[in-house]
Amino acid sequence: MGCTPLHWAVIRGSLEVCTLLVHAGTKQELTLRDRGGFTPLQLAADKGQRHLSNILSNATKVSFGDKYCSGRLGKVGYAPILFSYLVILMILFLKSIVFASDFSRITAAVGLWSWAAISLALASQVVFYRVSRNTPGYIKTNTEGLDPKELLMGIDLSSSTFTGSWSQLCPTCKIVRPVRSKHCPICKQCVEQFDHHCPWISNCVGKRNKWDFLVFLCMGIATTLLGAAVGFHRLWTEPIILSSSESWTHFMVTKHPGAVLFMFMDIFLLTGALILTVAQAVMIARNLTTNEAANQSRYTYLRGPDGRFRNPYNQGWQKNCAYFLVNGYNNDEEAAWPTLQQTVE
């Protein structure tokens, strides 16, 4: 029939085998067709196996990360671009806002704020270096002395971290990884409490650097906000001599091009940092990783007995945030759920 083992797992409707094969295999196997011309996904949809087709279509999807971050760009990512952007922004700030000859002399108060902005920018660069170089929580691999072709066979299933979920097995690192971790195809290692691979810091965001990542984002907001305030003040207090036909914008662009460019670049960065910070804060408050939120259907631990979404780690936003602020990572102990009897009461 030209069926692969994955086709057979779908024909038999075996969720467990299907999950195992998807985790152990490559994306290529998902695209193979049987003699009837069906891929495993099409077969699952044809047979009305909703759960199986969900798993297969999720696995087939080429994620944004895989598409834009793999290959040559891979591990280097966009961190050098972000670094250059920050340096250009700092030079523009000094040259076109603080020491600009086309502006009137800076007052002591504004000068003080400017230096605060510069100091914050330099401190942000230090945190940027830390967050991109420090481990996000890589899990030690177990590949030494093992035949690379041997897929899941080398894994010790008696490990105490194994809860029986196939998604815990990493065929690349040959380990049973803790629940909530995931293999990053760019870093080529499993990451504890994997959140996402951030191309802008050229590193994964996981259990061990989530705190640094949030600090970096908040410092980014503070710096760009301060820079924008100083820039705006400089532009606003400048005497404007407009000819009758000239608009304010045209005057500013022609008279202070550097300052206008700085404002544009600064506000662009501020917007990005704000969006990312809000997204991260919401996730921390929910005690959910970005990966879990995006791939809910892949993880059985995120489903309650009724089959609907349930986050077992969510202890309420106050407890979640407090735990994160004290420990630097989210609590990964399962919350106590009310028993059936308590619910009835």
Instruction: List contacts with Zn ion (CB under 5 A).
Output: 170, 172-173, 183-184, 186-187, 190, 197, 204
Which lies closer to Zn ion via its Cβ, residue 174 or residue 234?
174
CB 197 to Zn ion: min, Å: 4
CA distance 122 to 91: 12
Which lies closer to Zn ion via its Cβ, residue 106 or residue 187?
187
Yes or no: say if 192 and 135 are a contact pair by the CB < 8 Å rule: no
CB 189 to Zn ion: min, Å: 6
Nearest-CA neighbor of 273 among 136, 134, 120, 72?
120
CB 141 to Zn ion: min, Å: 7
CB 54 to Zn ion: min, Å: 23
Angle between helix axes 210-237 and 108-133 (nearest 10 degrees) is 150
CA distance 186 to 289: 18
CB 77 to Zn ion: min, Å: 9
Q: Give whole-number Cα distances, 138 to 78, 134, 187, 190, 240, in Å.
A: 21, 10, 9, 6, 57
Residue by residue, what is the 3-state secondary structure of 246-308? CCHHHHHHHHCHHHHHHHHHHHHHHHHHHHHHHHHHHHHHHCCCHHHHHCHHHCHHHECCCCC
Which lies closer to Zn ion via its Cβ, residue 23 or residue 234?
23
CA distance 52 to 40: 9
Q: Annotated catalytic, 198? A: yes
CB 311 to Zn ion: min, Å: 23
Which lies closer to Zn ion via its Cβ, residue 155 or residue 204?
204
Catalytic site residue from 170, 198, 218, 321: 198
Q: What number of other Cβ atoms are within 10 A of residue 172's Cβ? A: 15
CA distance 192 to 211: 14
User: What are the structure tokens assigned to 287, written together?
Assistant: 């005690």
Which lies closer to Zn ion via its Cβ, residue 170 or residue 270?
170
CA distance 22 to 51: 14
Which lies closer to Zn ion via its Cβ, residue 75 or residue 303?
75
Q: Give whole-number Cα distances, 141 to 48, 70, 144, in Å.
A: 38, 21, 8
Give the residue numbers annotated as catalytic, written as ranges.
198
